[in-house]
C-alpha cells in the first residue's frame, strides 16, 4: 500500500525480470481486470498494477477523482518503487491517465501503449456513462447494470453463449471489492470532463492498440488519435471489441511485447 496525502493506493508487482511496465485500468476496473494477460506479461516484464483512487482496495472509497490526480498518483508510485522511467500501458480511462502522465511527468514514461482509448469522449459516451451512473445509484438487483456494461465492451460472439454471460454477471455481482456508486460517478465525471490535451507534448514512443469492433472508441477514432500523436504506431486487433485484452489476450501480449522490445532495442 502506498500512502499519499489523500489516498492509500493498493498496488502489486509481478515478475522479477524484464523492464518495468505500469498498467493502468479503465472505468470501474482494478488490478483484477488484467488477469487474462498478467501471466504472460509477467514472464516478460516487471508488471506494476495499481487500483486507481476510488476502486478496488485503494482507500478511501470516495476520494476526489480526476484524470490529473490519477496521473499524479501513478507518478508517485513510480517514484516510490524507484524504477525511473517505465513503460506505461493504459486501457480506456487508463489510457487517458497514461497520456496525462506522459505530458505532465515526461521523465516517468519510457513509452506508452494506449489500448482502446482516446483523448476525449463522444457526446454519446458521456450520456451512456451518466446513465450507467444513475442506474448504479438506484441500487437493487444490478444484473441489468452489469449486462449493459458487457454489451458495450465485448463483441457479439460472447453473447451467443447465455451461460457464459450469466457466469460473467454472477462474478461481477459477487466481486468483493465493488466500487461505490459515488466513486463510479466520480470516475465518469473525470472521463467526461477530460479534453484539451496538447498531444504534441508527448515525446515518448507510443503504440495505439485498437479493437476492430470497439463501440466506445471506434476504429476511426483510434486511427485519428494515432495520427495526432507524433510518430505513433497503431495495431488493430481483429474482431475485438472494447475489452481488447480480454478478447484477444495472446495478440495483445504479442503486440505489447513487440513494441516495447523495439523501444528498448
Residue-wise pLDDT tens digits, 101-117: 999 999 999 999 999 99
Closest C-alpha among 115, 152, 124 to residue 226: 115
pTM of the model: 0.96
Question: Any alpha helices (H) in 82-218, and if so which ranges?
Answer: 93-104, 123-138, 143-153, 162-174, 181-192
pLDDT band at 17 (very low <50, low <70, confident <90, very high): confident
Which residues 6+ apart lie within 8 Å of 197 measured at CB?
Answer: 99, 100, 103, 119
Q: Give the model's pLDDT for residue 190.
A: 97
Residue-wise pLDDT tens digits, 64-97: 999 999 999 999 999 999 998 999 999 999 999 9
Q: Where are the domains of the chain?
A: 2-264
Give the alpha-carbon dihedral of 57, 62, 65, 71, to 10 degrees.
-20
How many C-beta atoms lie closer than 10 Å to residue 239's C-beta? 14
Q: Give the model's pLDDT for residue 47.
A: 98
Residue-wise pLDDT tens digits, 183-238: 999 999 999 999 878 999 999 999 999 999 999 999 999 999 999 999 999 999 99
Average pLDDT in the 146-151 region? 97
> Could you confirm whether domain 2-264 is CATH 3.40.50.1980?
no
Residue-wise pLDDT tens digits, 201-212: 999 999 999 999
Q: How far apart are CA 80 and CA 108, in angstroms?
A: 12
pLDDT band at 240 (very low <50, low <70, confident <90, very high): very high
**Could you tell me the end-to-end alpha-carbon distance of the chain, in angstroms, rounded to an integer?**
33
For residue 69 the three cell numbers come to 490526480
Q: How far is CA 74 from the centre of its chain?
A: 13
Amino acid at each position: 500500500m502506498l500512502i499519499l496525502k489523500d489516498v492509500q493506493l493498493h498496488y502489486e508487482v509481478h515478475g522479477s525480470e524484464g523492464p518495468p511496465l505500469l498498467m493502468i485500468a479503465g472505468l470501474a476496473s482494478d488490478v483484477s481486470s488484467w488477469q487474462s494477460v498478467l501471466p504472460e506479461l509477467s514472464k516478460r516484464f516487471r508488471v506494476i498494477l495499481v487500483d486507481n483512487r476510488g476502486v478496488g482496495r485503494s482507500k478511501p472509497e470516495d476520494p476526489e477523482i480526476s484524470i490529473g490526480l490519477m496521473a499524479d498518483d501513478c507518478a508517485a508510485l513510480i517514484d516510490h518503487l524507484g524504477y525511473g522511467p517505465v513503460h506505461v500501458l493504459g486501457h480506456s480511462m487508463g489510457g487517458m491517465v497514461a497520456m496525462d502522465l506522459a505530458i505532465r511527468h515526461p521523465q516517468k514514461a519510457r513509452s506508452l501503449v494506449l489500448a482502446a482509448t482516446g483523448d476525449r469522449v463522444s457526446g454519446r459516451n458521456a450520456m451512456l456513462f451518466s446513465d450507467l451512473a444513475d442506474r448504479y445509484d438506484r441500487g437493487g438487483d444490478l444484473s441489468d447494470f452489469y449486462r449493459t456494461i458487457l454489451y458495450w465492451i465485448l463483441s457479439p460472439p460472447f453473447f451467443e453463449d447465455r451461460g457464459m454471460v450469466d457466469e460473467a454477471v454472477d462474478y461481477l455481482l459477487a466481486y468483493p471489492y465493488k466500487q461505490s456508486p459515488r466513486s463510479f460517478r466520480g470516475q465518469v465525471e473525470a472521463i467526461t470532463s477530460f479534453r484539451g490535451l496538447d498531444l504534441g507534448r508527448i515525446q515518448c514512443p507510443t503504440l495505439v492498440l485498437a479493437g476492430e469492433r470497439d463501440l466506445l472508441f471506434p476504429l476511426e477514432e483510434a486511427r485519428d488519435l494515432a495520427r495526432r500523436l507524433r510518430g505513433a504506431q497503431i495495431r488493430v486487433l481483429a474482431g475485438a471489441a472494447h475489452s481488447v485484452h480480454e478478447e484477444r489476450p495472446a495478440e495483445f501480449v504479442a503486440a505489447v511485447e513487440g513494441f516495447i522490445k523495439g523501444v528498448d532495442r
